[in-house]
């Protein structure tokens, strides 16, 4: 049996050429152009068993990202499983907005006595580490702290940390709820707080592929869906430097309420930025 036959089989069973290709790539160890070149290679018994297992899992409804065990996020290839949320394009755009804010703060500091200081970034509820590790990889000067209340999620983040090379030396992973996981010495010294916190309300409807497979603790915030954002925004001013910025991923239909929470917490300059679909997705709250 050759891989081309398995590709055809998976396409029929799953009804998706994309899913079939990703599974064959994973089972065969193919990357990029190697995929087409490898389709006529014979399949080992071990690789066939791995392929069959992945097809069965996907056919049972398990998300493709968990089935193949890895997913791209910006420049990173992240390990993911059911202990963490699946990295999504919406969050990539949140990182883009956070990087823009960080660059603006760095430029502003360059003309003051803060020039040369390394920015301190805190990613709260890091999950797979997608946000924290992207910032560490893309901003060579940044010192990044990543926290999560889930020890299981931190184990995934730690695995991903080991895969980003030298940039990983500037990342600290801490176990605990939001800011409680951070050392007190960081109070007043954090340049940027960024988070993709839970923002689904208890009564909200989710697709079965999300509800049945992804960790509920990273999805559901409480009765209003704003509880996690409120907790972060309330504490952020005591941790942020002046100037400093807090960037949160939010539910588009709760953007106005999230902005109100930020203003109540003491952020005078608040706005919301869109995701790639034009929906309100990133709350940006600044301290002067």
Mean pLDDT value across residues 166-182: 97
pLDDT attached to residue 243: 94
At residue 103 the predicted structure's pLDDT band, cuts being 50, 70 and 90, is: very high
* Distance, CA of 136 to CA of 258 (rounded, Å): 27
DSSP state of 261: H
Residue 224 burial by Cβ neighbours in a 10 Å radius (0-12, 13-18, 19+): middle
Q: How far is CA 224 from the centre of its chain?
A: 22
Mean pLDDT of the chain: 95
Q: What was the pLDDT predicted at 110? A: 63
Give the pLDDT confidence score for residue 115 in this predicted structure: 53
Contacts (Cβ under 8 Å, ≥6 apart) of 278: none
Token output for 90: 């919406």
Q: Are 126 and 193 in contact (CB under 8 A)?
A: no
Mean pLDDT across 235-264: 97
Q: Comparing C-alpha atoms, which of 69, 45, 46, 47 is closest to residue 57?
A: 69
In this prediction, residues 267-277 reach a mean pLDDT of 95
Q: Is pLDDT above 60 for 113?
A: no
| Beta partners for residue 177, in sequence order | none
Beta carbons of 37 and 82 less than 8 angstroms apart? no
CB within 8 Å of 112: residues ≥ 6 apart: none
Residue-wise pLDDT tens digits, 81-101 = 999 999 999 999 999 999 999
As its CATH architecture, domain 89-287 has 3-Layer(aba) Sandwich (3.40)
Rounded Cα distance, 253 and 132, in Å: 26
pLDDT for 111 beyond 70: no
pLDDT, mean of residues 1-16: 96
Q: Is this prediction's pTM over 0.75?
A: yes
Identify the pLDDT of residue 34. Answer: 86
Terminal-residue alpha carbon distance, the chain: 65
List, in order, residues 6 or more apart from 103 with CB less than 8 Å away.
none
Q: What is the pLDDT, as a whole number, of residue 60?
A: 96
Query: What tokens were used for 138?
Result: 């893309």
Q: Would you state the pLDDT for residue 114?
A: 56
Which residues make Cβ contacts (< 8 Å) with residue 143, sequence separation at least 6? 118, 119, 120, 121, 170
**pLDDT at site 116:** 60
């Amino acid at each position: 049996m050759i891989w081309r036959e398995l590709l055809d089989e998976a396409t029929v069973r799953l009804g998706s050429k994309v899913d079939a290709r990703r599974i064959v790539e994973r089972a065969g160890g193919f990357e990029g152009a190697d995929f087409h070149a490898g389709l006529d290679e014979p399949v080992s018994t071990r690789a066939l068993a791995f392929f069959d297992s992945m097809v069965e899992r996907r056919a049972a409804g398990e998300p493709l990202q968990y089935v193949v065990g890895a997913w791209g996020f910006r420049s990173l290839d992240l390990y993911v499983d059911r202990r963490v949320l699946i990295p999504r394009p919406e969050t990539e755009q949140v990182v883009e907005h956070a990087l823009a804010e960080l660059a603006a703060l760095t430029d502003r500091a360059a003309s003051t006595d803060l020039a040369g200081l390394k920015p301190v970034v805190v990613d709260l509820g890091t999950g797979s580490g997608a946000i924290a590790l992207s910032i560490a990889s893309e901003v060579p000067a940044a010192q990044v702290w990543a926290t999560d209340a889930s020890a299981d999620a931190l184990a995934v983040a730690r695995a991903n940390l080991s895969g980003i090379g030298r940039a990983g030396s500037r990342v600290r992973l801490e176990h605990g709820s939001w800011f409680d996981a951070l050392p007190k010495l960081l109070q007043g010294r954090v340049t940027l707080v960024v988070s993709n916190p839970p923002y689904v309300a208890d009564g909200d409807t989710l697709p079965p592929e999300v509800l049945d497979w992804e960790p509920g603790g990273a999805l559901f915030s409480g009765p209003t869906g704003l509880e996690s954002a409120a907790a972060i925004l309330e504490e952020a001013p005591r941790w942020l430097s002046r100037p400093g910025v807090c960037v949160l991923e939010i539910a588009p239909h709760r953007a106005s309420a999230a902005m109100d929470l930020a203003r109540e917490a003491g952020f005078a300059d608040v706005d919301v930025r869109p995701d790639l679909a034009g929906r309100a997705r990133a709350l940006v709250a600044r301290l002067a």
